[in-house]
Amino acid sequence: MTGWFVVHTHARAEEQAAGHLARQGFTPYLPRIGRTIRHAGRISKTTAPLFPRYLFVALDLEAQRWRAVKSTVGIAGLVSLGEWPTPIDDAVIHEIRDREGEDGLIVLTERPRFQAGQPVMVTQGACRSLDGLFVAEAGDERVIVMLSLLGRTLRVTLPAASVVACA
């Protein structure tokens, strides 16, 4: 009987491990998400594992040489109880796959990070260290914040990653 199992990989070796598992005849599943990365003032889009250092593999413990998974390049081991790998419910895999978009990436539904009127602080850019009040989301990557600067209250649109909630 085939079931899904969780594989623990070495750091940043999820793709490599999935490829080696597939070449050995196993069925790996590595759910991925889209990410926006800012580096040196540039913005780039990339993908990343939904669960860093983990992937799933379909195994038939009775018919397949499942112990070979443990010695596959890029794999640290199988999530197990004792000596036997622990299966996960097929519904977990179905739920994750149901969240895949047309591009094969998992679509995460995010709840608003801030509430209107919530105190926030700017952590990056020209307004760094200024306190303000959250107003609203402005698209996927930006937020609108009210800041007090030089005795005036300004409505400013900032990258969402540059704003954190204040205690």
How does DSSP classify residue 112? Answer: P
Given 3.30.70.940, 1.10.10.10, 3.40.50.10420, 3.30.70.100, which CATH number is that of 2-98? 3.30.70.940
pTM equals 0.68
What is the distance between the alpha carbons of residues 93 and 107, in angstroms, rounded to a whole number? 14
User: If you classify domain 119-165 with CATH, what class do you get?
Assistant: mainly beta
Domains of the chain, by residue range, sit at 2-98, 119-165
CB 26 within 8 A of CB 59: yes
Single-letter amino acid, residue 19: G
CB 45 within 8 A of CB 36: yes
What is the distance between the alpha carbons of residues 67 and 39, in angstroms, rounded to a whole number? 41
CB 119 within 8 A of CB 102: no
Per-residue pLDDT of the chain (167 residues; tens, 9 = 90+): 799 999 999 999 999 999 999 999 999 999 998 887 777 878 888 999 989 999 999 999 999 999 999 999 999 999 998 889 999 999 999 999 999 999 999 987 665 679 999 999 999 877 889 999 999 988 767 899 999 887 889 999 888 888 999 87
Residue 104: half-sphere exposure toward Cβ, Cα within 13 Å: 7
